[in-house]
Amino acid sequence: MKSVDSDDIAIKLAEEVKLLLASGGFQLTKFSSNSRKVLSTFCHDKLASGLKDLDLGDLPVGKAVGVYWNAESDEFIVHVSLREKPITRRGVLLQASQLFDPFGMIQPFILYSKVCCRDCQLNIGWDEAIPSHLPDIWMRWVRTLPKLQSVSIPRWFGCCRDDSQLELHCLGDTSSVGYGAVCYIRVVRGSAIHCAFCFGKVTRVSDKDGHYT
């Protein structure tokens, strides 16, 4: 996911990458951009699916590095499948695993599903009902899933110029349930300051006694 200062630079860069890979016998396709000018320089068969008609009112939502990307707003967004799953050990794991979050955008939310998955591992079969104290907790988590679709993170850090001063601020915290960390990038250009989410991670969930291994 490359950012540059202008459409013309993006067009030149894309052409250079195509030629470089073509010299090795590779045909680069599925191009996407948040610029209609850039997209118009490609043949339709070289564009990502959903970008065949550039006369659309808004650029479509597609995927980039496995994450849903709104090209019109240039933001990563969260996609949630709301298909109902049985309240069994298998159903809980299937529902929790649908949230693909490589950047850690929603890790605090996912932490609670990990706790429920941990508590389901109590010598029960995959298709048996989960322990009686968990269904209410689990269903509260499931009912909150639709709210994730309002979460968005800007794709661009705002730091592609040479005169920018970059700072990486990392924070960590722990509790009896789990621990994790988050990083933000702070960009200073003259008197202008811009901060952006960079990466988050919940690395561990404690056992039922609050211990980590």
Give tens-digit pLDDT for 50-83. Answer: 776 666 678 888 887 788 999 889 999 998 877 7
Burial class (CB in 10 A: 0-12, 13-18, 19+), 183: middle
Give tens-digit pLDDT for 96-153. Answer: 888 889 899 998 888 888 888 888 776 788 898 888 888 888 899 999 999 998 999 9
Distance CA 201, CA 51 (A): 33
Ranking 148-152, 176-180, 199-203, 205-209 by mean pLDDT, the lowest is 205-209
CB 64 within 8 A of CB 32: yes
Question: Could you state, in order of their start, the residue ranges of all structural domains in the chain?
Answer: 7-59, 63-155, 159-205
Three-state SS sequence of 27-57: CCCCECCCCHHHHCCCCHHHECCCCCCCCCC
Q: What is residue 202's predicted lDDT score, i.e. its pLDDT?
A: 82
Give tens-digit pLDDT for 141-154. Answer: 999 999 998 999 99
